[in-house]
Amino acid sequence: MAGKAADTTGSSKNNTAEPAAASMADVYNGELTPLQRHVAFFDRNKDGIIYPAETYQGFRAIGCGVALSAAAAVFVNGGLGPKTIPENEKTVAFKLPIYVKNIHKGKHGSDSGVYDSNGRFVPEKFEEIFKKHAHTRPDALTGKELQEMLQKNREPKDLKGWLGGFTEWKVLYSLCKDKDGFLHKDTVRAVYDGSLFERLEQERKSKKESSKKK
């Protein structure tokens, strides 16, 4: 009895190679979340992955010193990177890549909640920062008020997340405060929508250009 072995194994031979690594840049084909836009600045070659060298270049481009930029590259990529690696993505861990696509997975605790867990902007939370902490003027924070906010946001036992937020805000404050020591609301808003870094880089470039001409 030669039972007819039905060929049920749908052996669909797929000879086309999987489009693996190249697809990381696809993140830029769709609409970015505000959180993705915020970090995309640091993806200097727009391949969808931020390597430490790019973080370094990005920090330098907005006006941070060599030491801070180098430290940022190690700590930001070391801290965030591993959380953003896509499943079944083979990666060389010591290269500390950050995947723009998955940046929302790298969100740390003790933050202001202005980005939700999907990386979207939450206007109410943004307003809350200034309602709660801007005592001197409604549309800006002093260094002291910033400090107060950071203390309030701190979740117990979350030193790492808190340190991350602390550093981000301190860097922002030192780069962007006005001559009277105020960090303005529209500046902070521009951090969250991702436009501030590009603006800072442009400003620095044009400053350099004008000093060359002299």
Q: Which is nearer to Ca ion, 43 or 145 (CB)?
A: 43
Q: Which is nearer to Ca ion, 25 or 163 (CB)?
A: 25
What dihedral do alpha carbons 112, 118, 123, 129 form, nearest 10°? 0
C-alpha–C-alpha distance, residues 159 and 167, integer Å: 12
Q: Which is nearer to Ca ion, 52 or 165 (CB)?
A: 52
Shortest approach of Ca ion to residue 190 CB, angstroms? 22
Q: Is the dihedral of CA 89, 93, 99, 102 positive or negative?
A: positive
Taking a C-beta distance cutoff of 8 angstroms, is the pair 150, 165 a contact?
yes
Burial class of 12 by CB neighbour count within 10 A (0 to 12, 13 to 18, 19+): exposed
Q: Which is nearer to Ca ion, 45 or 136 (CB)?
A: 45
Shortest approach of Ca ion to residue 108 CB, angstroms? 21
Shortest approach of Ca ion to residue 40 CB, angstroms? 10
Shortest approach of Ca ion to residue 197 CB, angstroms? 15
Shortest approach of Ca ion to residue 56 CB, angstroms? 12
Q: Which is nearer to Ca ion, 91 or 147 (CB)?
A: 91
Taking a C-beta distance cutoff of 8 angstroms, is the pair 170, 200 a contact?
no
> H/E/C letters for each residue in 82-104?
HHHCCCCCCCCHHHCCEEHHHHH
Shortest approach of Ca ion to residue 44 CB, angstroms? 6
Q: Which is nearer to Ca ion, 128 or 201 (CB)?
A: 201
Residues that bind Ca ion (CB under 5 A): 43, 45, 47, 49
Residues in contact with 40: Cβ distance below 8 Å, sequence separation at least 6, in sequence order: 28, 32, 46, 100, 194
Taking a C-beta distance cutoff of 8 angstroms, is the pair 97, 50 a contact?
yes
